[in-house]
Amino acid sequence: MSTAPALDPTHTALLVMDYQPAILAFVPEGEDRDALLGRVAGAIADVRAHGGVIAYVRVGFTEADWDAIPASNKSFAPLAQHRVMHHKDPAAAVHERLAPQDGDIIVRKTRYGSMSTTDLDQQLRGRGITTLVVCGISTSGVVLSTVIDAADRDYQLYVLSDGVADPDTEVHDILLHKVFPARAHIIDTTELRALLRAG
C-alpha cells in the first residue's frame, strides 16, 4: 500500500508532458510504447473522473523560436540548426491516444521544463491547483526539469513511475530511486487510482 498522502482531486493536475510521436520514438524498443500510452490514457481518465485538471505540455518551435536559440545552448541549438519539431508538424502534436479535450490546459514550450517558457504555473494557480501528478517523456529531460522547478514553486508532487520513460534506462532508474524521492512521492498508475478514491 502506498505511503503517499491521499490526493484532493479538486486541487490536482495531471501533467502529460512531451507525449508526442517524435519524442515517443526515442523510447527504447524494450519499453512497450502501446502499454505506456495505455497506462497514461488510464491515468488521464481517472483524474478526469474525479474532477482533476489535465494539463498537456508539448515542445514545438516557430521560426522565431528557432532563431532565438543561441549556439551556446548545447541541447537546443542542434534542433534550431536542423529546424526540428516545428509546432505545426504532426510529429510534434500530442499523441492521438491522449488527445486533449475542451477545458484542458495545453501549453507549448521551447525548453526542457514545462514552466520556464510557458504560462503553465499561472494557469494552474488560476485554477487553484496545488498538487501535480507528473508523467512524461523523458525522465532525464522534461520530467527532471519540471520536478525540480515545481518543487521550488512549492507544489506537492507525485511522479508516475510507470508513466515516465527515458532512452537511458540507467539514468531513468537513478532519477526515480535516488533523485526524485527527495522532492516527490513516487507512485504508479494503480496507486494513483487508489489515492484519488481516498481523496
At 30 the pLDDT is: 63
Tell me which residues of the chain have a pLDDT lower than 70.
1-2, 29-31
Give 7's DSSP letter: P
CA dist., res. 165 & res. 187, Å (int): 14
DSSP for 55-100, please give it. Answer: EEEEE-B-HHHHHHS-TT-TTTHHHHHTT-SBTTSGGGSPPGGG--
Grouping H, G, I as helix, E, B as strand and the rest as coil, residue 39 is helix
CA dist., res. 59 & res. 110, Å (int): 6
In Å, how far are 52, 115, 184, 199 from 12, measured between CA atoms?
A: 5, 16, 14, 10
Instruction: Note if the pTM is more than 0.75.
Output: yes
At 28 the pLDDT is: 72
Q: What are phi and psi of 59, to 5 degrees?
A: -95, 135
At 122 the pLDDT is: 98
CA dist., res. 116 & res. 150, Å (int): 10
At 31 the pLDDT is: 65
CA dist., res. 181 & res. 177, Å (int): 7
* Encoded amino acid at 134, one letter: V
The predicted-structure confidence for 136-163, as pLDDT tens digits, reads as follows 999 999 999 999 999 999 999 999 999 9
CA dist., res. 12 & res. 32, Å (int): 28
- The radius of gyration computed from the CA coordinates of the chain, to the nearest angstrom, equals 16
Please, which residues bridge with residue 135 across strands? 16
At 1 the pLDDT is: 46
Average pLDDT, the chain: 95
Q: How many CB atoms lie within 10 A of CB 99?
A: 12
